[in-house]
Chain A
Amino acid sequence: MQNRERWATRIGLVLAMAGNAVGLGNFLRFPVQAAENGGGAFMIPYLISFLLMGIPLMWIEWALGRYGGVRGHGTTPAIFEYITRKRLFGILGVLGVTMPFMVAIYYTYIESWTLGYSISALMGMFPSVREALAGTSVLEPFNQFFQNYTGMGGSEAFIRPSAMAYVFFLLTFLINVFFVYRGIARGIEILAKVAMPILLALAVVLAVRVATLEPISGHSPLDGFGFLWNPDFSKVFDAQTWLAAAGQIFFTLSIGFGTLITYASYLSEKDDIALGGLSAATTNEFVEVVLGASIAIPAAVVFFGIENTVEIAKAGSFSLGFITMPAIFSYIPLGNLFGFMWFFLLFLAGITSSVALIQPMVAFLEDEYGIKRQKAVILVAAIMLVLMHIPVLMNGALDEMDYWAGTVGLVALAFLELFVFVWMFGVDNAWREINRSAQIKIPIIYKYIMAYITPLFIIVIMVSFAKDLFIKAITFNNPGELAARLLMIGVFLVLAVLYAISRSRKR
């Protein structure tokens, strides 16, 4: 067993874990979900899901990672097999390497838009707005700018991103590779220690700017906050609200991606995980609920009014972040600077997540094949660079990968983790492992929540997916979707074979 890397400081570890969780979704997905599902009332199922599902799964992933790392394994295949002594679970655990890798492939591309847009804002490249932002028709030039930049929006099989999008895609990819190449303490931890405070500062400045906007469409920033927070209690008893809230907790905490496990594998047995896990989860919640909710949606309400903001929210996160926000920044004084801050903030949120998504594949090659980190990173980067061209160039591939790897897959992996760690390892063993070297005392009720309530949450989410999943599985609309599926299946099979070979070699 080769010596595994270690985090240099606890704060660095917590910031890296929080950076992994804080992503574009905190600023774009959360406010849209809250606004569409009952505003303040959405926070009731959201907080309950956080306490009963998010926090327990966070601790489970940290504990699985530390348990595996102490034994020389930083990814789920070997950790699952070590715990269950069954090869089947090792093979199923390959999901925990496949999924973060697949998500990294398309997420890094989206992240590159934020870097490209931040420079576009700074250089004043966005369309300018001369008239008052009275209606959403003013968004059309910005929609066109987005389509020209990404090449998306048409119905052809292949898309052609702009030269700028392609250059920034390569640049973003290289920046990611640079930090992963430098390693855990010298690369990822330093990135988190620098990026997270800057991200927080930018978010605070933007939130203050939004809160002090003059009313434009007859609406003040307070109306924007009201749109997000005024509770619609009829939604509390709506199953859809609960599903949306539980789903948001999954995405926002980066549960079920396999990334938390790999990060936690660089802990020693003497390191606390109870306080660290809670702290990372809380940092993410602060960024999401306090800062993420105070920028895009309130600004949209001020400029476009409530009815138009409902339409903007329905059009999705990309529309809010990449079309509506540039229009707003084009209108306000120092808009170029604030636009740069907004997109650079998203870039920092993205990169602290994407390095975490790349790391499990690197750890898999290091731990199971004894490949040195630098060589493993170069190998992973080379494969990634080739495969990333599928979502960059093929229509529908990005959404398809997001559905299977970034939505369905993570719920499945989370259930598998819970099944292996709590049920197969045993509730008492799991509880002992989580509390080993703990700096805080976790209430004993969480032992039972992990065993019974958390799995119930996940099962309900999985059942809610069932109908869509079946329809999705038997249909595809374009070659991009087919290519994405074949890619995901192919990567899984190759990794499963690689894993099986590594086990037979070690025997």
Chain B
Amino acid sequence: MTLAGWIFMLSVWSIVTGLLVWTYWKILKGENSE
């Protein structure tokens, strides 16, 4: 696997995972405050 491949894979995984965690955190925070 090339360096560019690593960069692409880890960047995309980070973006998607970060967005996933953030959206679920917001939802759970909203549910708890209701």
Q: Which A residues form the contact surface with B (CB < 8 A)?
A: 9-11, 14, 39-41, 43, 47, 222-223, 225-226, 228-231, 272, 275-276, 278-279, 282-283, 285-286, 289-290, 439-440
Contacts and interface: CB of A to CB of B under 8 A. Distances in A.
Contact of B31 (A11, A39, A225, A279): A11
Interface in B1-34: 1-2, 4-6, 8-9, 12-13, 15-17, 19-20, 23-24, 26-28, 30-31
Contacts of B2: 226, 230
Contacts of A286: 16-17, 20
Given A10-B30, A229-B1, A272-B30, A282 B19 contact: yes
Contacts of A279: 20, 23-24, 26-27
A43 B23 CA distance: 22
Nearest to B10: A229
Given A43-B12, A47-B12, A286-B20, A275 B26 contact: yes
21 contacts: A10-B27, A10-B31, A39-B8, A40-B4, A43-B8, A226-B1, A226-B2, A226-B5, A231-B5, A275-B23, A275-B27, A275-B30, A278-B23, A279-B20, A279-B23, A279-B26, A282-B19, A289-B16, A290-B17, A439-B26, A440-B26
A289 B13 contact: yes
Nearest to A222: B1
Q: Is the interface of A mostly helix, strand, loop or mixed?
A: helix
Given A10-B31, A439-B26, A40 B5 contact: yes
Contacts of A9: 31
B20 A225 contact: no
A411 to B, nearest CB: 24
Contacts of B15: 47
A231 B16 contact: no
B3 to A, nearest CB: 9
A231 B9 CA distance: 10
Given A10-B31, A231-B8, A223 B1 contact: yes
A14 B8 contact: no
A132 to B, nearest CB: 24
Given A226-B2, A278-B23, A11 B12 contact: no
A47 to B, nearest CB: 7
Contacts of A440: 26
Nearest to A288: B16
Contact of B27 (A11, A230, A231): A11
B28 A11 contact: yes
Contacts of B31: 9-11
A39 B5 contact: yes
Nearest to B25: A279
Contacts of A282: 16, 19-20, 23
A230 B17 CA distance: 20
Nearest to A221: B1
Given A10-B31, A290-B16, A225 B23 contact: no
Nearest to B22: A282
A285 B16 contact: yes
A229 B2 CA distance: 9
A231 B10 CA distance: 13
B7 to A, nearest CB: 8
Contacts of A222: 1
B13 A14 contact: no
B2 to A, nearest CB: 5
Contacts of B8: 39-41, 43, 229-231
B19 to A, nearest CB: 5
Contacts of A275: 23, 26-27, 30
B4 A231 contact: yes
A283 B20 CA distance: 6
B22 to A, nearest CB: 8
